[in-house]
Structure 1
Amino acid sequence: MLEQHPADTTIIRRILLIGGGVCLVVAGVCLFLINTQPLKQASTPVDEDVQPQFQAEKLSAISNLGVMVNEVRPLQQTTRVVASGQHSAEFRGTHFIQENLNNYSLELFITSKEEIIQDFLDKRADRSKFIYLRLAAEHQPERYVLLYGNYAGEADAEQQLQQLNLALPKTIHPRTVQFKDYTDLVNDMGTEELSNQKLYSIELKPAVIPPPAIVPKVSSASVVAPVSHALQTTVTRHDREGNVVSVTRSAGLEASVPH
């Protein structure tokens, strides 16, 4: 057999070591290229293709935005309220306004206190010609307006305005108005409606109270000692043929019977 020289063995080991290092470096470079190249290719379609498609779908979904505005009707205020407080007989609400939409009246003044109108009416002998309303507007405090007369035409109201003599302060300037101008501001029940409602009452009738029962007093002299009677029990036994076999008598309890 041929013996291998030690120098040759060292050279072979170095060559293998260098070759292994070169292979390791090449494998690392290939792995790096494989991991980085797909990310660069995948990032390009996201910016160019996917995002425009998403925007297109979003715009198509809201193309009919605003259609419901024409289909949904606005809320209508159909519930009437009963204003708190004690109103005078001249207080009117929506029922009166609906019946006199085309009629005219004279607006004397508007105030925020109902007591001012009530004090004014208390001093008038012709208060049957007056009416007043409560005006309730959104984002505004409630007000009360005093009106005079109910006229079928504007000309009649203007003529009455020229002849009006109510001794009002000079700062008050009455004007002609139509009842339908207060349609959106009045949502009350008038005094005439409340007075027509049926009232239910409970009629209480006096009832006779029976006198208390009188219990007679029992004196000690009228108490009689009870008499005791002994009770006996008799047991008779029969056989199958009905013949008497035995008769047993025993004393029972004693019962007290008063006389």
Structure 2
Amino acid sequence: MSTLHSPSQKNQSTIWLVCGVCLLFLAFIFWIFTEKDTVTLIEKESETSLERQIQPEKVAATTYLGGLTDEVKPLEKTVRIQATDNHDAEFRGTKFIGDRQNNYTIELFRTNKEDVIKDFLRRQNSRDGFFYIRLSSEDIPEQYVLLYGDFVNQFSADSALGKLEIGLPASVKPTVQTFKNYMADVNDLGAEEMGLNNALYAVKLTPAPIPKPAIITEPVTPSATLNVETPTTTTTVTRKDQQGNIVDIQTSQTKPLAPSNTSQSTNTP
């Protein structure tokens, strides 16, 4: 069964529909205007004469920057390192290597621990001719090199290498090197510069007889004799009458005979 609408109801519904569409259209227009970006023009204030006066002046000598680089060379390795470790007297530095750049030496072995070299040197009967250095640079890690001898030419170094007998393992192969090869990687103060290579002197003690002390006797004077009291014996005799009254008391003292055969007795009535 269908519902019939009167013409007045249809007109009312149409009016409400038109009003709703109009409201939506107005809301859309309002949204467009509110979301529009506003552009604000900011006028830059003109610079005053004071601001123009304090502007920094451009450097006029920019073309000469770095011009003295060739005249004054940069300082490199001007400060030598004095390590705080306890080095042995055989430790050497820049001065020792620099004075012997053209000489030859025998490189025994390298290690990254200084204690290995110290232990090796302690086991040697003689430490003459041994010395070691520390290599440290950007290209190689820190390591210690044990060297032997200072030779003026390679022939002398090769001859000494053939006669060298220090008990190295078979895997260690000593080689002949020039001091110049270590110059770029050594930057230390040697033991001879720090006063660590002072010669040590051994004191040899031998047994010697001890003299007997002299006995000095002083003469004895009479005033220096001691008066020693000798023990004495005291005897007391008491006499009484028949009633028991004391009638008489006699006291006597007796001393033993002295070495000088003198005696003394005292009787007190």
TM-score class, shorter-chain normalisation, is 0.3 to 0.5
Select the structure of larger CA radius of gyration: 2
Q: What TM-score results when the alignment is normalised by the length of structure 1?
A: 0.48
Going by fraction, where is helix more abundant, 1 or 2? 1
